[in-house]
Chains A and B, each alone.
Chain A
Amino acid sequence: MTDELQKLAKALDQIERRYPAGGKRYSTIVENPYEAGYMPFPMPSKRAVAAGRRLRKHQSQSAAK
């Protein structure tokens, strides 16, 4: 635990040196790689895809009633 905290403290010191606080917020709007379009997101699991399909089917059926 202490080792982990020391490692983290060292990393934070490096971060503070490298990226000093006070940078302007939202200096460029597009910072998120998903938004910038260069990072494809992972595929949802088969379970999630099936759940989504069931959900949309249920929604469309209840809307039709």
Chain B
Amino acid sequence: MGEPLIYASLKRCLLSDSRPTVFPSMASLHRLHSAADLLTRSRIPVAHAAAVLAREPNSPITRTVKLWGDDERPFKNLIRANTAAAREWRRMMGRIVLHLECYRSDEPVYRGWSFPNAKTRAAFIASIQRRGGFVNGRIGMSASRTKRVSTGRPFLNRFGLLWEIRRHRLARDVSPIFRAIGAKYPRQREVIFPRGCEFVLAESPRELRVVRGGQTLRVPYLVLHEV
């Protein structure tokens, strides 16, 4: 634990005129001893969390995170199911995400959307334009650090659209964790925006041409800023 070391150091400093010889860095304050500490500590460096979670693959915390990283049927049901177990998973996943350190970068992140038809997509865009932005109401919203991933087949269909999110503040880069715990899709360079993140439309929608498998898709391209 970092605290006793700090107290001892401060006490030594107060009782004598000397400067503290050992003063732990802020990083050590967030040192995790077990995966369960992710529920109580905050601003945890992602690399550190990844190492601890990898060390405890059977911990409920690791299993919770892995359900998101595997992004399969369980996750897709959990994100919206109304069962007690799903609600518990969402509550804990939300806490874990919030306790990670924010991803700081000037590079934008991207999110691809898939819609069943052009009408639903148009209604979605109109709603964003009318409101001037979007609030993430779900436990987390995934995005990727690369445009190539976001325009891939799983994330963008021919009725889809692409977001470029600039000036993000609250995203958490979870890709080191997914790599460390052996999640199924570790190379998507995924970031998660926690619930309540607000994005505003920064520019009028443009059109993006995506060439994929010999086909050219023309999809709306929206630039948003996180506020």
**Residues of chain A at the chain B interface (Cβ within 8 Å):** 1, 4-5, 7-12, 14-16, 18-27, 29-37, 39-45, 47-49, 51-53, 55-56, 59
Residue of A nearest to B202 (CB): A55
Residues of chain B within 8 A of A48, CB atoms compared: 132-133, 135, 198-200, 227
CA distance A53 to B71 in the complex (A): 36
Cβ of B191 to closest chain A Cβ, rounded Å: 17
Residues of chain B at the chain A interface (Cβ within 8 Å) = 36, 39-40, 60-61, 63-64, 67, 70-74, 76-78, 80, 83-86, 88-89, 92, 113-116, 120, 123-124, 127, 131-137, 154, 157, 198-203, 225, 227
B64 touches A43 (CB 8 A): no
B132 contacts A44, CB within 8 Å?
A: yes
The answer to whether A23 and B73 have CB atoms under 8 Å apart is yes
B198, A5: Cβ atoms under 8 Å?
no
Q: Is the CB of B40 within 8 A of A1?
A: yes
Which of B61, B78, B116, B198 has the largest count of A CB atoms less than 10 A from its CB? B198
User: B135 near A42 (CB under 8 angstroms)?
Assistant: yes
Which 3 A/B pairs are nearest by Cβ-Cβ distance?
A: A23-B73, A52-B200, A19-B74
Supply 24 A–B pairs (Cβ within 8 Å), ascending by A: A4-B39, A5-B61, A7-B88, A11-B86, A11-B88, A11-B89, A12-B64, A12-B67, A14-B83, A18-B83, A19-B77, A24-B72, A25-B72, A26-B154, A30-B114, A40-B127, A44-B134, A44-B198, A44-B199, A48-B198, A48-B199, A52-B132, A52-B133, A52-B202
The complex places the Cα of A30 from the Cα of B50 at a distance, in Å, of: 31
Chain B residues lying within 8 Å of A10, measured Cβ to Cβ, are 85
- A21 near B39 with CB under 8 A, answer no
Is the Cβ of B135 less than 8 Å from the Cβ of A41? yes
CB <8 Å contact, A31 and B76: yes
Q: Are A35 and B113 in contact (CB under 8 A)?
A: yes
**Would you call B133 and A56 a contact (CB within 8 A)?**
no
**Residues in B whose Cβ lies below 8 Å from that of A20:** 74
Contact (Cβ within 8 A) A37 B123: yes
Most buried by B among A9, A15, A16, A25: A15
Given A49-B131, A55-B200, 7 other A-B residues pairs in contact with their CB atoms under 8 A:
A1-B36, A5-B36, A5-B60, A9-B63, A12-B64, A35-B124, A52-B133
Expressed in whole angstroms, the Cα–Cα distance for A20 and B77 within the complex equals 11
Q: How far is the CB of A14 from chain B (nearest CB, A)?
A: 4
Contact, CB under 8 Å: B74 / A25: no
A35 touches B114 (CB 8 A): yes
Complex-state Cα separation, A48 to B70, whole angstroms: 33
